[in-house]
Amino acid sequence: MEIVYRTGKLEDSLKIAEGIDRASGGIMEFLFHDLLGQHTRTEVMAKSIEEKQGTDSYENATVAEYQGNIIGIVYSYSSKFHGITDSTRSFFPSDQLAVLKEFYNSKVDNSWFLDSIYVDEEFRGTGIGSKLITLTKQRARANGYRQLSLMVMADNTVARRTYERNGFRIVKHIDIQEHPLIPHKGGVYLLVSDVKEELPSDR
């Protein structure tokens, strides 16, 4: 199976938004709840990504492509941009942001932040997720960072095992108030991995 990995393009914006939404574990659905009219939340997110609004940009994504179709995405940027911005406050209700205050206030300083990673269900278990993590570590190094950080739902044991195999360790537990639109229990873990140059494998 030949997978092509590349930086996101303008025309990928909707697929990138869909991946971010699916990877969020209900957080995006919770934030956008009752705010949208005729547009879906992924359409609104895609528009922001297309237009490079704030820190949003299709260039922050690496996509996995198979037979011309995007089957996986990873979205990353400097951890200094992870937080509640003025534009976020102006768009989302304060009571919804309050539920996620600790989530947005938690970060590993001076790290590259893996915001979202998603692989289509039928392609999971094939190494695509690990490859996307490796490429994100390379992007972190290219931008001068020595650590890669991310967040994962505490009850997402499959994802946590993947991150552990890729060198991540837990540095903080983040409590999130349970809500019907966020169907996870136990809050979120903040993880970090050192970013090291990879040695060529022996053959």
Give the chain's mean pLDDT.
Answer: 93
**Percent of the chain whose predicted confidence (pLDDT) is above 90:** 82
What confidence tier does 36 reach under pLDDT thresholds 50, 70, 90?
confident
Can you tell me the distance from the alpha carbon of 158 to that of 151, in angstroms, rounded to the nearest whole number?
14
With cut-offs at 50, 70 and 90, classify the pLDDT of residue 197: low
| pLDDT above 70: residue 78 | yes
Residue whose structure tokens are 């991946």 = 19
pLDDT on residue 202 = 37
Residue 193 CA to residue 150 CA, distance in Å, equals: 9
Average pLDDT of the segment spanning 56-77: 97
Range 68-96 average pLDDT: 94
| Range 111-140 average pLDDT | 96
**Which overall architecture, per CATH, does domain 4-194 show?**
3-Layer(aba) Sandwich (3.40)
Q: Is the pTM of this model over 0.85?
A: yes
Token pair belonging to 103: 């989530």
**Domain residue ranges in the chain:** 4-194
Can you give 76-117 as a three-state secondary structure string? EEEHHHCCCCHHHHHHCCHHHHHHCHHHHHCCCCCCEEEEEE
Question: What order of strands is seen across the sheet that includes strand 61-66?
Answer: 4-7, 61-66, 69-78, 112-119, 147-153, 188-194, 169-174
pLDDT tens, residue by residue, 142-186: 999 999 999 999 999 999 999 999 999 999 999 998 888 888 889
Please state, for a pLDDT cut of 70, what percent of the chain lies above it.
Answer: 97
Distance CA 3, CA 33 (A): 35
Q: For residue range 148-160, list pLDDT tens digits in order.
A: 999 999 999 999 9
Average pLDDT value for residue range 29-57 = 92
